[in-house]
Amino acid sequence: MEPVVNSYTDFKENVLPRIRDGGYNAIQIMAIQEHAYYGSFGYHVTNFFAPSSRCGTPDELKAMIDEAHRMGLVVLMDIVHSHASKNVMDGINMFDGTDSMYFHSGPQGYHWMWDSRCFNYGNWETLRYLLSNTRYWLDEFKFDGFRFDGVTSMMYKHHGLQMDFTGNYDEYFGMSTDADALVYLMLMNDMTHSFFPNAINIGEDVSGMPTFCRPVSEGGIGFDYRLQMAIADKWIEVMAMDDWSWNMGNITHTMTNRRYAEPCVGYA
């Protein structure tokens, strides 16, 4: 049998029943936004408003989400607003002939590790584009919320690269903080919860940004949960060890290392 890319319909018919029967109550679907490079796992987005055509049609995606809801599953979308594909012909890079329509111009607009373009969140058109994109997926496809990818990269001008965050507040509220990105995240969370009070927004942050999960009304960034990436990394680490080499104190610390009363989600 020739290998094929999985489809929305196949996922609906063959995978969703297994998820339901396994006792799960939510799913996070990645690589939904259109992307040219399959090896990017959907993170080099070329069209933010189009479902990935390699997996089927928009109507087939809607049918998959409807079926998941019928089974009682919450459907979260892995959304990418932290960067975009640098492609010009099939992406939004150089959309108006300049490198700064949605992005920072020059080196600030290029993520050297991801080989992609970085948004200018202080740009009015960028705000309109990304905020409308957020509402579009909730309104049109009935997603129940999002897992926002790469939020640490958004919040800091250094993108969190080669940084070892210690918890010192100067690391979070200094000249390296991208205040425009924080404002965008606050606007996005406030808008989402205003139009869709039951929506769930999860942010992938590895810096430990204070107020990350505090409501916008209290001056927080407004996420419902922080994605605790260190937990999954710890499982990968201990799987390579003999059982008797596990450091239970270190494992416990990793699973409970969060700010006081901060809601977190961790991958198993």
Q: Which residues are designated catalytic?
A: 149, 204
Give how far Cα 230 sits from Cα of 73, 104, 227, Å. 26, 30, 9
Note whether 169 and 209 are within 8 A (CB).
no
Return the ∠ at Cα 131 (arms to 113 and 201), rounded to 5°.
Answer: 75
Tell me the sheet residues that pair with 119. 103
First to last CA, the chain: 32
133: phi > 0 → left, psi -120 to 50 → alpha, else beta; which?
alpha
Q: Name which of 60, 89, 65, 73 is nearest 23 in CA terms.
A: 73
Cβ-defined contacts of 210-215 (< 8 Å, 24+): 210/169, 210/172, 210/259, 212/259, 212/262, 213/262, 213/263
